[in-house]
A = this chain, B = another copy of it.
Amino acid sequence: MTGWIAVAGLGPGAEEMVTPQVAAALAEATDVVGYIPYVARVAPRPGLTLHPSDNRVELDRAAQALDMAAAGRQVVIVSSGDPGVFAMASALFEALEARPADCNADIRILPGITAMLAAAARAGAPLGHDFCAINLSDNLKPFAEVERRLRHAAQGGFAMAFYNPRSASRPHQFERVLGILREECEPDRLILFARGVSTPDEVLSTVTLAEATPEMADMRTVVIVGNAATRRVGRWLYTPRSVPG
């Protein structure tokens, strides 16, 4: 048996958004590794070993997968959403950089429905024009860099999607983010808070920047800030395709 690694995106939560490509990789796998709540989404079966691990051990998990593939195992690394968006694909290549002998390992990255696009679809089309995706966590970058990027995104007229907006260990940063947005954007700018999209816990809420408060976000929330033209039509939120000349 030849070992391989597939880094697979499970989408936001609902089974109906898992691609057949990802389902096929899971069906062939001998081992699944990933963050505990993501591994919990994979159905156990005979011949499949589940290896759940904690958050913030991405490099260890990638090394474990490379070790198992080298030993002939067929390994799926599961991510929520898309593995290439603030998830395990980059961590795997970072681990690979430290192990040149494994550079010819059989690796596939299998895309998935990322949180911002699932949230946008539930709300309408708030990312219907140029947009940015920004990870608000300062675990791996200084907060000054987050702030710099926020200002460029706002000044450039981009809609914005925020991943990891707020956590128990970083309760105050999202308040700073809202403060920066208030300096750069008008008070009636529309903001979508989308939590647990496509799961039984799904809650969507659209407010103006003036109304937004830090506790509207947590680690299960993706936040979408519209551009200056983003508006409501009926129960929907959308960003027009046009920018006037």
| A-to-B contact residues, CB < 8 Å | 11, 14-21, 24, 58, 82-86, 89-94, 96-97, 103-104, 107, 109-114, 117-118, 120-122, 124-135, 140-142, 145, 148-149, 151-153, 155-158, 233-236, 238-243, 245
Query: Quick check: B93 and A141 within 8 Å, CB to CB?
Result: no
Identity of the chain B residue whose Cβ is nearest the Cβ of A142 in the assembled complex: B245
Q: A19-B19, A104-B234 are in contact. Are A93 and B140 (CB under 8 A)?
A: no
In addition to A82-B117, A85-B128, A94-B238, 16 A-B residue pairs with Cβ atoms within 8 Å of each other are: A16-B20, A18-B20, A82-B121, A83-B121, A86-B129, A90-B128, A90-B240, A93-B236, A104-B234, A111-B120, A112-B113, A127-B133, A141-B245, A148-B156, A149-B156, A151-B156
Residues of B close to A20: CB separation below 8 A: 15-18, 20
Top 3 A-B pairs, shortest CB-CB distance: A152-B156, A90-B128, A103-B234
Query: Which of A19, A94, A132, A241 is the most central at the interface, judged by chain B CB atoms within 10 Å of its CB?
Result: A241
